[in-house]
């Protein structure tokens, strides 16, 4: 059989490193989304031959894992956690939300059902589990509470990238888009089949703000955890 091609290719940069490759990939993903990241595109940004990247990173999947690792590593938790469980969960949730805010591609890339092993992300899990452990909950409930919080934050953050992509495609921000839909919505509500929606809509417009929506949901989630702990400790 013919020998396998040399993936190192030509045009290698002696200063090329995994760190430089990850930084270039992060720049592309943050600006254009994860779909825009490819080995060829990263090589173009770095000014090297595409095959030279394979000396440092196996493939795009491995590159994405390195990107996740780098992102979470830059968001350390406080050295001393708060004693209050609610404050501790609030700190963890807001830190993760800010990570998703800075890197909109990250939330869709993370999986809850098949979680990637990203060492620098594990402190989030430890922080949340530590806030709940020893408060009368069984281990399954502790893990379910942690995953529910993670999935709430991730699920809300998925909208960040989706909105950026929609705005780039349509040239309209969310407010402009909603304004364009208003005449048709009024026509539907005038039919009388949706009285509650019609009444609430008539009272004034609802301004969707993802940061406010995140904070609202976080407070309600923590209220639920408080009730769960009260039941367990009672």
CATH number of the domain within which 95 lies: 1.10.357.10
What angle do the packed helices 85-102 and 210-233 form, to 10 degrees?
Answer: 150
Is residue 227 located within the same domain as residue 166? yes
Shared-domain flag, residues 57 and 136? no
Domain match, 126 and 27 both:
no
pLDDT at 26: 98
pTM score of the predicted model: 0.87
* 110 in the same domain as 58: no
Q: Is 75 helix (H, G, I), strand (E, B) or coil?
A: coil
Flag whether 3 is in a domain.
Answer: no
CATH number of the domain enclosing 32: 1.10.10.60
Q: Domain for residue 181, yes or no?
A: no
130 located within any domain: yes
User: Among 42, 73, 104, where does a domain finish?
Assistant: 73
Q: Are 222 and 90 in contact (CB under 8 A)?
A: yes
Residues 121, 43 share a domain: no
Residues 111 and 217 in one domain: yes
- Do 132 and 41 share a structural domain? no
Same domain assignment for residues 117 and 51: no
Q: Is residue 211 part of a domain?
A: yes
Residue 129 maps to a domain: yes
Domain that holds residue 103: 85-171+204-233
Q: Which of 125, 133, 130, 121 is nearest to 149 (CA)?
A: 125
Q: Any idea which residue has 């281990």 for tokens? A: 139
Q: What is the pLDDT along the chain (234 residues), one digit of tens a residue?
A: 544 443 444 445 678 999 999 999 999 999 999 999 999 999 999 999 999 999 999 999 999 999 999 999 998 888 888 999 999 999 999 999 999 999 999 999 999 889 899 999 999 999 999 999 999 999 999 999 999 999 999 999 999 988 888 888 888 888 888 888 888 988 998 999 999 999 988 888 788 899 999 999 999 999 999 999 999 987
Rg (CA), the chain: 23
- Say whether both 89 and 69 belong to one domain: no
Number of compact structural domains in the chain? 2
Write the secondary structure of 92-117 as one string of H (helix), E (strand) and C (coil).
HHHHHHHHHHHCCCHHHHCCCCCCCC
Give helix 139-170 / helix 210-233 axis angle, nearest 10°: 170
Does 149 map to a domain?
yes
Domain assignment present for 28: yes
Task: Give me the phi and psi of 207, to 5 degrees please.
Answer: -95, 110
Same domain, yes or no: 213 and 143: yes
Residue 152 shares a structural domain with residue 116? yes
Judge whether 32 lies within some domain.
Answer: yes
196 vs 139: CA distance, rounded Å: 42
Q: Are residues 208 and 124 in the same domain?
A: yes
pLDDT at 105: 96
């Amino acid at each position: 059989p013919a020998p396998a091609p040399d993936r190192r290719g030509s045009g290698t940069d002696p200063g090329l490193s995994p760190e430089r490759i990850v930084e270039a990939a992060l720049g592309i993903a943050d600006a254009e989304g994860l779909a825009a990241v490819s080995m060829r595109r990263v090589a173009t940004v770095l000014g090297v031959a595409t095959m030279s990247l394979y000396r440092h990173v196996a493939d795009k999947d491995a590159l994405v894992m390195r990107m996740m690792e780098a992102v979470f590593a830059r968001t350390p938790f406080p050295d001393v956690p708060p004693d209050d469980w609610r404050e501790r969960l609030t700190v963890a949730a807001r830190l993760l939300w800010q990570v998703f805010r800075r890197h909109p591609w990250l939330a869709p890339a993370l999986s809850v059902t098949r979680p990637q092993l990203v060492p620098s992300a594990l402190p989030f899990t430890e922080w949340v589990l530590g806030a709940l452990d020893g408060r009368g909950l069984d281990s399954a409930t502790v893990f379910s509470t942690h995953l529910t919080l993670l999935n709430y934050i991730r699920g809300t953050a998925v909208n960040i990238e989706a909105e950026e992509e929609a705005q780039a495609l349509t040239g309209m921000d969310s407010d402009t888009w909603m304004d364009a839909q208003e005449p048709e919505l009024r026509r539907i509500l005038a039919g009388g089949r949706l009285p509650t929606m019609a009444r609430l809509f008539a009272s004034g417009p609802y301004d969707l703000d993802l940061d406010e929506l995140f904070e609202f949901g976080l407070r309600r989630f923590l209220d639920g955890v408080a009730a769960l702990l009260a039941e367990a400790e009672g």
